[in-house]
Amino acid sequence: MLLEDFLQLLAGLGGQNVLYLQVQDQTLPLSKFVLAREDCQLLCGGQAMTLAKFRQLTGKGSKSIPLSFCW
């Protein structure tokens, strides 16, 4: 999935929503965003990131890069 596609999926949600990843029977908070030139990752951690923070971290750079989720 491209980062721009993921952002479009989230477009209608408010900034106070938090991000979680559902893996089988586990719900894991997405707490860290790593952006590199050729790809980016959302990583699981202790406390879920708000959508407002995620949008702030994505910045104004190119969004046509692959996004992966890591747990």
pLDDT per position as a tens digit, 6-17:
999 999 999 999
User: Cα separation of 30 and 50, whole Å?
Assistant: 9
pLDDT tens for 8-45 read 999 999 999 999 999 999 999 999 999 888 899 999 99
Give the pTM: 0.85
Output the pLDDT for position 44.
Answer: 95
Q: Which residues contact 44 (CB under 8 A, 6 or more apart)?
A: 21, 28, 29, 30, 31, 70, 71
Measured distance CA(71)–CA(34) in Å, rounded: 13
Predicted confidence band of residue 59 (pLDDT cuts 50, 70, 90): confident
CA 51 to the chain's CA centroid: 8
